[in-house]
Amino acid sequence: MEGIALTDIDEKSREDSFEQGVFWELFRELERQFELFLQYIPFPVLGNWDTCSFKLSNLILSIGGYVDSAFKEMARYQGFANDIGCSKIRKILQESESNIQAGKAPKTVPINLCLSVFEKIYEISHREVVIKTLPKSTNIVRPFEPYHPKTKAPIWWIAYNELKHDIGAKYLEATPRITYEALAGAFLLNAIHFPSAIRLYNYDILKIQIPFRSEPSKYSMTQISCDTFQDILKSGQGFSGFAESPLFKYFYSQ
């Protein structure tokens, strides 16, 4: 299945922030901020695609922090309790909490660790997101496509990191292009992470498509129970469909 690959799902998994819809609502707030920004500038393809904005610098910082937190929450998911990579992330988080309680500096989860862990689970570097507000010739992005030669971080993460550590020197990185790609990454994690996919299906944001018997190349929408949808995910048999927000769309395919 394109977008979700999961084994050994724990039926007794705790109800984390993805399951509760918290991360989706946080994403939507970030997306709304960007939608508001887009109302006051000309369309990016008219020349502002790489124009910097102080408003976007704060938004990119928020999106980067969101993705960092999303990776940590994904690693805590009980369905990944036996995954070695997720265990490494959880161990760092536990050590960080111990440091904080002892009055020491917290530990940082390296981005290369998160990317490698969820590359193995979800193949995130290959996943494509459609930017709905751009022409078809330029509207496909791979938000986690590697760019940095060592960390394999995407280009928007590098911009986020530079803004976080030296915004006075790096404010030119805060562009619509970087913001689109960063926000697409946040959207993608919501679309492919198992407990989030269940929540999006409940919200009717994730929709399943089935082919017409008479015309296999054409599709119609279908509605199944949430339990049946969970069974599909657990079996790994795959499905066709999509998840959609005002700015982005992700297609699942068998």
Complete DSSP assignment for the chain? --S----S--TT----TTTTTHHHHHHHHHHHHHHHHHTSS--GGGTTTT---HHHHHHHHHHHHHHHHHHHHHHH-GGGTT-HHHHHHHHHHHHHHHHHHTTPPPPPPPHHHHHHHHHHHH-GGG--EEETTS-TTT-EE-TT---STTT---HHHHHHHHHHHHHHHHGGG--HHHHHHHHHHHHHHHHHSHHHHHHHHHTT-EEEEEE-SS-TTSEEEE---HHHHHHHHHHT---EEEEE-SSEEEEE--
Name the pLDDT band for 138 (thresholds 50, 70, 90): confident
pLDDT category at 172 given cuts 50, 70, 90 is very high
200 CB-contact burial (10 Å; exposed 0-12 / middle 13-18 / buried 19+): buried
Q: What integer pLDDT is reported at residue 128 of this predicted model?
A: 97
pLDDT at residue 142 is higher than 60: yes
Q: What average pLDDT does this structure show over 226-239? A: 82
Is residue 248's pLDDT more than 80?
Answer: yes
pLDDT in tens, 32-59: 999 999 998 877 776 788 899 999 999 9
Whole-model pTM above 0.75?
Answer: yes
Q: What is the dihedral of CA 221, 225, 230, 233, to 10 degrees?
A: -20
Q: What CA–CA distance (Å, rounded) separates 208 from 220?
A: 9
Distance of alpha carbon 225 from alpha carbon 210, whole angstroms: 15
Judged by average pLDDT, the poorest of 8-12, 48-52, 77-81 is 8-12
Query: What is the pLDDT at residue 2?
Result: 47
